[in-house]
Amino acid sequence: AALALFEEVQTLKLKPDAVVYGAALGACEKGQVWDGALRLLREMKDQSVPWNVITCSTALSACEKGGRWQEGLAILESMDLASIPPNT
């Protein structure tokens, strides 16, 4: 449902914010779609939507569930560079 809503937002030419991206990332996490989560993070960056600890943690969890530790480390590195503290 969250991914369908995200697609609807894009179809209507609306600019998704971090909350909308977070919901879509949550759907990717639950569905273990790590590559979709990474695509959404890239899109957030391309659309100048700032990452936050929630969006990053959700994408990290999707990578963890998909066994993609290298991608997870890359997210952590990006978080460090952007001064986003990890969720502890």
Phi, psi of 13 (to 5 degrees): 65, 30
Place of tokens 């990053």: 56
Phi-psi region of 48 (alpha: psi -120 to 50; beta: other; left: phi over 0): left
Q: What angle do CA 5, 11, 12 make, to 5 degrees?
A: 95
Average pLDDT of the residues of the chain? 91
CA distance 56 to 37: 9
So what's the pLDDT on residue 4? 76
Counting as low any pLDDT under 70, the low residues of the chain are: 1-2, 88
pTM of the model: 0.86
* 49 contacts 21 by C-beta, under 8 angstroms: yes
So what's the pLDDT on residue 57? 95
